[in-house]
């Protein structure tokens, strides 16, 4: 027990110390977990012997991850991916296996060993790639979806690979000679022949046709049970009103599916992915996600750490050039093949690089291929050790490839030539700079009132979409003075600043005010600090983007707390009036560049304005609701100010 607690403390402590630091440095959590494992194992020697068993347990995080990904995909979406699954994924597996095997045969390796290592090299890391794509919000990009399709195909390809390996057994490794290739490292070989239960023994004894029928029956049973039985089972469990039972049923569903798939020799990750897709339309989908995400994150982190612990730095020190050459050669070869596939399937340049760089490493299923090959006497010890080390190092380098992709994306963005702005041949009494969701509502209201507007926006897609609906707009950067002049800034009565970027908004306000001191400027603000910036730049009316909707929501709350519509409306109007006046007072004491919670004058004025606001609302409430005078002051205060906090506690909310 003490040993378990010690090891658990070491793993958790290493993760807590290293991973947040890696994230803050922009390296991502995956590289942080790998670094934590390297520190625990090869560097400080705090972990090692238990890692093989721990890695088996941690690999269940991949199963959970694919189940959760399946929950995000409807069956229709999966069907739409069939061309990528069969085309991109199939081509990647076949071409990489053939290329790596051919290269190894060229360098003198036997065909059987070369084929095993080629199959190993064709697989990529589902855990690292999907985790990093999710962290960087790249899963919904075309490159991210294509990478996911290939990973899913690789998971399916593991099954025939495992079936082929026993046919590649080497005579020299079978029988008496096998003792020469003993195992010196617990990570070199994973024992895949655990003591089998009677059920598993019976399954293995079935003839081929019976096993095939049973496989189809189990897959069909998973689909039908997920569709027809999941709802009544979830309702029955949740009727107990025990929060932990939701977690129990979620884990049971995933574990049971994984076991059934393992029973018939299929990938548990693939099986749980199918189960997730089946449940994608279930009303319990979000509950499943909430129950399983903590387990997924913990187990994946543990898996990455075991990979770091298992890196054989002794072999790397003995043969550094060979190991690094093989690792970089593998990643380069896979990258070139992936680039070719991306080009054939006409991915855009940025998606092409994301697709290629994200899949250029070896994967966790490569460990399984090496382990099974060693157990089936299809791979010599030295080749197996080298394969494991190359896989581990390539996984270690993968987060750096994503950093390289970020750099390439920034370079591509800089190289994109600026599209020439439209020639503005209209002038209006109102200029609207920015036509996003906010600007569209403003523009529609003004135009339907019979007042012409001139719309400027630097998003060509938005402008073209507007034109399809019969609304004219002009493409160009609203911050460029010549475009504002062409739009009629000299004659316009009002200019509406509705651009998303706060610095651009302030710059437009500043230029419009300097050019036309008499023009009325209406500007959208992101938050209170942006209000102060726009106020000092010269805006007349400043609209916080969520302020009006928040007041309306508060009015609905008052109406459901016993206020009449008139009373709630009057209190809301009083709040609006007092708060708007308070904004000008706070803007006078706001200092650019200084955080509000460090500005003593701002804090003092904000506290006073909060007291003034409370007094004004209490007076308004007393006027429209005379019976409120009978209520204790603390009750009225609780009704109007349920969560009043010191301004210094939450400066960014104000």
Q: Which fold has domain 2-171+198-407?
A: Na+/H+ antiporter like fold (1.20.1530)
Q: Sheet holding 430-433: strands in order across?
A: 474-475, 453-457, 430-433, 494-497, 520-525, 541-544
Domain boundaries defined on the chain: 2-171+198-407, 430-653
Instruction: Give the up-direction half-sphere exposure of residue 478: CA atoms within 13 A in the CB hemisphere.
Output: 33
Kindly tell me the burial class for residue 375, based on how many C-beta atoms sit within 10 Å of its own C-beta (0-12, 13-18, 19 or more): middle
Extract the tokens encoding 229: 């039985």
Distance of CA 619 to CAs 574, 609, 639, Å? Answer: 10, 15, 14
Quick one: pLDDT at residue 650?
36
pTM higher than the cut 0.85: no
- CA-CA distance, 524 to 310, in Å (whole number)? 54
Chain position carrying tokens 């898996």: 303
Quick one: pLDDT at residue 104?
92
Chain position carrying tokens 């449940």: 279
- CA-CA distance, 324 to 393, in Å (whole number)? 8
Q: Which residues of the chain have pLDDT under 50?
A: 176-195, 416-417, 627-654
Q: Which residues contact 270 (CB under 8 A, 6 or more apart)?
A: 66, 152, 155, 156, 261
- CA nearest neighbour of 446 among 457, 459, 431: 431
Helix residue ranges, H only, 107-165: 111-122, 126-135, 142-164
- 3-state secondary structure at position 513: helix
- CA-CA distance, 43 to 14, in Å (whole number)? 13
User: Do β-strands 474-475 and 453-457 pair in parallel, antiparallel, or remain unpaired?
Assistant: parallel
Quick one: pLDDT at residue 423?
65
pLDDT tens for 87-107 read: 888 899 999 999 999 999 998
pLDDT tens for 527-546 read: 878 888 888 888 888 888 77
Quick one: pLDDT at residue 603?
83
Q: What percent of the chain has pLDDT over 70?
A: 83
Class of domain 430-653: alpha beta
- 3-state secondary structure at position 138: coil
Q: What percent of the chain has pLDDT over 90?
A: 11
- 3-state secondary structure at position 490: coil
pLDDT tens for 425-449 read: 677 788 998 888 888 888 888 888 8
Chain position carrying tokens 């904000």: 606
């Amino acid at each position: 027990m003490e040993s378990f607690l010690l090891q658990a403390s070491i793993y958790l402590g290493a993760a807590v110390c290293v991973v947040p630091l890696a994230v803050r440095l922009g390296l991502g959590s995956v590289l942080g977990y790998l670094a934590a494992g390297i520190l625990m194992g090869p560097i400080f020697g705090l972990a090692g012997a238990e890692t093989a068993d721990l890695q088996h347990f941690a690999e269940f995080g991949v199963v959970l991850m694919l189940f959760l990904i399946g929950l995000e995909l409807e069956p229709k979406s999966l069907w739409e991916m069939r061309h990528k699954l069969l085309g991109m994924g199939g081509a990647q597996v076949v071409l990489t296996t053939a290329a790596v095997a051919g290269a190894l045969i060229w360098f003198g390796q036997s065909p059987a060993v070369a084929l095993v290592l080629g199959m190993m090299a064709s697989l990529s890391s589902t855990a690292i790639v999907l985790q990093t794509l999710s962290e960087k919000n790249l899963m919904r990009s075309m490159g991210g979806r294509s990478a996911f399709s290939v990973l899913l195909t690789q998971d399916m390809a593991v099954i025939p690979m495992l079936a082929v390996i026993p046919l590649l057994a080497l005579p020299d490794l079978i029988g008496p000679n096998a003792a020469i290739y003993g195992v010196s490292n617990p990570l070199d070989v994973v024992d895949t022949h655990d003591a089998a239960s009677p059920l598993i023994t019976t399954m293995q004894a079935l003839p081929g046709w019976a096993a095939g029928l049973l496989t189809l029956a189990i897959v069909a049973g998973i689909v039908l049970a997920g569709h027809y039985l999941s709802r009544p089972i979830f309702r029955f469990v949740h009727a107990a009103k025990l929060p932990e039972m939701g977690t129990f049923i979620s884990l049971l569903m995933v574990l049971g599916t994984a076991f059934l798939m393992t029973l018939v020799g299929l990938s548990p990750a693939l099986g749980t992915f199918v189960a997730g897709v089946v449940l994608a339309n279930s009303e319990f989908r979000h509950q499943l996600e909430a129950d399983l995400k903590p387990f997924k994150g913990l187990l994946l982190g543990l898996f990455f750490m075991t990979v770091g612990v298992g890196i054989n730095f002794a072999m790397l020190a003995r043969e550094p050039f060979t190991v690094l050459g093989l690792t970089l050669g593998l990643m380069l070869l896979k990258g070139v093949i992936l680039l070719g596939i991306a080009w054939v399937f006409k991915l855009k340049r940025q998606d092409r690089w994301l697709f290629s760089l994200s899949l250029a490493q070896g994967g966790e299923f490569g460990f399984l291929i090496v382990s099974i090959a060693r157990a089936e006497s299809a791979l010599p010890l030295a080749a197996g050790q080298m394969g494991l080390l190359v896989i581990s190092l390539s996984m270690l380098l993968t987060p750096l490839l994503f950093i390289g992709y970020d750099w390439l994306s920034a370079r591509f963005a800089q190289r994109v030539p600026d599209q020439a702005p439209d020639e503005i041949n209209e002038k209006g009494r109102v200029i609207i700079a920015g036509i996003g969701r906010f600007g569209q509502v403003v523009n529609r209201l003004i135009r339907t009132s019979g007042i012409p507007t001139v719309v400027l926006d630097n998003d060509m897609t938005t402008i073209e979409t507007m034109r399809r609906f019969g609304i004219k707009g002009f493409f160009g950067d609203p911050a460029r003075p010549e475009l504002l002049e062409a739009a009629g800034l000299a004659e316009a009565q009002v200019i509406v600043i509705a651009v998303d970027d706060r610095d651009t908004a302030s710059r437009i306000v500043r230029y419009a005010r300097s050019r036309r001191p008499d023009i009325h400027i209406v500007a959208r603000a992101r938050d209170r600090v942006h209000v102060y910036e726009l106020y000092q730049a010269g805006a007349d009316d400043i609209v916080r983007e969520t302020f009006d909707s928040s007041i309306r929501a508060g009015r609905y709350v008052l109406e459901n707390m016993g206020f009449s519509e008139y009373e709630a409306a009057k209190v809301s109007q009083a709040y609006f009036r007092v708060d708007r006046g308070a904004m000008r007072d706070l803007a006078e004491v706001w200092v650019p560049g200084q955080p509000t919670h460090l500005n003593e004058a701002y804090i003092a004025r904000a506290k006073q304005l909060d007291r003034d606001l409370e007094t004004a609302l209490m007076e308004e409430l007393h006027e429209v609701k005379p019976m409120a005078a009978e209520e204790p002051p603390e009750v009225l205060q609780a009704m109007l100010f349920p969560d009043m906090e010191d301004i210094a506690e939450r400066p960014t909310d104000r």
